[in-house]
């Protein structure tokens, strides 16, 4: 067999299911048979031209699978190994890589973003970025390791410590995992906000203390009744600039606002530098997954981070249009394609 089925983005708003050649692994790569690949908000953003991508592109970067072929130089993996993909392969020689900031590498060509990804029956990835899954972890959970590792980075940037309070806006799979990590890091009050009722209910089931509908009046009045000084951390996982702008006003003195969700590049917020100074606020982003994939695998394997309940729908490759149409709608959290 020399061909496979794959979803292909040809250009903005142009995607098809095609038969394409199965890729051959380079000496330092492995070929995997893809078992599962989650749909991330980045994928429709690439399709609709909001986020850059390398057209034509086989998208999908939240992948897991089984090694079916190894390159000649690969020694750490064998055929049959079950793996999860770390999609962000850094160059190793730019100044950011040399300073240990591999996630900010200037020359990255991420799997599923600028290199062929996991919305296909087979894919290739550098052997250094194919991490073995522990016995007992399902391949479906393996597909959740990359988004979980990005969320761990968000928690690290928030510097959450024992006794802190946090409010997470947007509790799809990403916001839900950020809320879970906050609890694991010691947060004693976890508040979430989402307009979709099913997501609010799931967040409460997964450990959040309070869940509010932001479309109802008086959101922060309700929060202030629980936390008179405001939350220590407010994290936007919805990618809405107005949320970030309001969070700067509502976070506790000495608090942190994390812009985690992907906003459109042309959108801006208005903040007062004087207010930031007077209240000693921290406003930060959270980008990629620098050396957070392995601990996330362990968190999932141990059962401390619950991800399987976050997968609401599975789709075949042939159902790709339906998958992209329902993404983000009522009753959905994580959508996973199973080639």
Rounded to whole angstroms, how far apart are CA atoms 264 and 248?
Answer: 19
Rounded to whole angstroms, how far apart are CA atoms 312 and 318?
Answer: 18
Domain boundaries, the chain: 3-144+307-337, 149-285
pLDDT at 72: 97
Q: What pLDDT digit, counting tens, does each position of 233-282 carry?
A: 999 999 999 999 999 999 999 999 999 998 888 899 999 999 999 999 99
Q: 149-285: what fold? A: Rossmann fold (3.40.50)
Q: What pLDDT digit, counting tens, does each position of 91-112 carry?
A: 999 999 999 999 999 999 999 9
Exposed/middle/buried for 228, CB within 10 Å: 0-12, 13-18, 19+? exposed
Catalytic positions are: 42, 45
Give the CA distances from residue 87 to residues 24, 32, 82, 108, 274, in Å, rounded to whole numbers and listed in that order: 17, 13, 16, 10, 40
Mean pLDDT of the 284-309 span: 96
Picking from 243, 249, 207, 213, the residue whose alpha carbon sits closest to that of residue 230 is 249
pLDDT at 266: 87
Q: What pLDDT digit, counting tens, does each position of 124-161 carry?
A: 999 999 999 999 999 999 999 999 999 999 999 999 99
Beta strands in the chain (DSSP E): 3-11, 14-21, 29-38, 62-70, 82-85, 122-126, 130-132, 165-169, 189-193, 210-212, 233-236, 256-259, 282-285, 311-315, 334-337
Rounded to whole angstroms, how far apart are CA atoms 271 and 249?
Answer: 9
Contacts of 39 by beta carbon, 8 Å cutoff, 6+ apart: 60, 62, 323, 324, 327, 334, 335, 336, 337
pLDDT at 247: 98
1, pLDDT greater than 80 = no
Here the tokens at position 270 are 């208005």
> Residue 44 belongs to what H/E stretch?
helix 42-47
Alpha helix positions (H), 197-339: 197-205, 219-226, 241-250, 273-278, 293-301, 320-326
Here the tokens at position 247 are 């969070």
Domain 3-144+307-337 sits in which CATH superfamily? Medium-chain alcohol dehydrogenases, catalytic domain (3.90.180.10)
Which residue is associated with the tokens 């496979």?
4
CB 49 within 8 A of CB 12: yes
CB 194 within 8 A of CB 260: no
Q: Which of 1 and 312 is assigned the larger pLDDT?
A: 312
How much of the chain exceeds pLDDT 70, in percent? 100
Which residue is associated with the tokens 């479906």?
140
> Residue 184 belongs to what H/E stretch?
helix 173-184
User: Which pLDDT band, with edges at 50, 70 and 90, does 223 fall under?
Assistant: very high
């Amino acid at each position: 067999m020399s061909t496979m089925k794959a979803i292909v983005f040809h250009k903005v708003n142009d995607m098809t299911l095609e038969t394409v050649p199965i890729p051959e692994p380079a000496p330092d790569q492995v070929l995997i048979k893809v078992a599962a690949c989650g749909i991330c908000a980045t994928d429709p953003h690439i399709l609709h031209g909001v986020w850059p991508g390398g057209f034509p592109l086989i998208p999908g970067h939240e992948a897991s699978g089984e090694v079916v072929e190894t390159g000649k130089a690969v020694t750490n993996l064998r055929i049959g190994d079950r793996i999860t993909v770390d999609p962000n392969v850094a160059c190793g020689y730019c100044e950011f890589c040399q300073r240990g900031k591999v996630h900010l590498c200037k020359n990255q060509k991420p799997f599923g973003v600028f290199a062929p990804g996991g919305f296909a029956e087979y894919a290739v990835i550098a052997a250094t970025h194919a991490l073995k899954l522990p016995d007992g972890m399902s391949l479906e959970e393996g597909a959740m390791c990359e988004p979980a590792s990005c969320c761990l980075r968000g928690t690290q940037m928030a510097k959450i410590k024992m006794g802190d309070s946090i409010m997470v806006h947007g509790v799809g799979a990403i916001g839900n995992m950020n809320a879970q990590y906050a609890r694991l890091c010691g947060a004693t009050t976890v508040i979430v906000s989402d307009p979709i009722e099913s997501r609010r209910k799931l967040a409460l089931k997964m450990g959040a203390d309070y869940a509010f509908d932001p479309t109802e009046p008086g959101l922060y009045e309700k929060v202030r009744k629980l936390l008179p000084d405001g939350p220590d951390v407010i994290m936007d996982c919805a990618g809405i600039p107005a949320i970030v702008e309001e969070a700067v006003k509502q976070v506790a003195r000495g608090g942190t606002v994390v812009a985690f969700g992907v906003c459109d590049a042309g959108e801006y917020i208005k903040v007062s530098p004087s207010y930031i100074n007077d209240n000693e606020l921290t406003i930060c982003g959270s980008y990629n997954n620098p050396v957070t994939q392995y601990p996330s695998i362990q968190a999932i394997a141990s059962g401390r981070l619950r991800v399987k309940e976050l997968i609401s729908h599975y789709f075949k490759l042939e159902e790709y249009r339906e998958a992209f149409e329902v993404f983000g709608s009522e009753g959905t959290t994580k959508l996973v394609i199973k080639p």
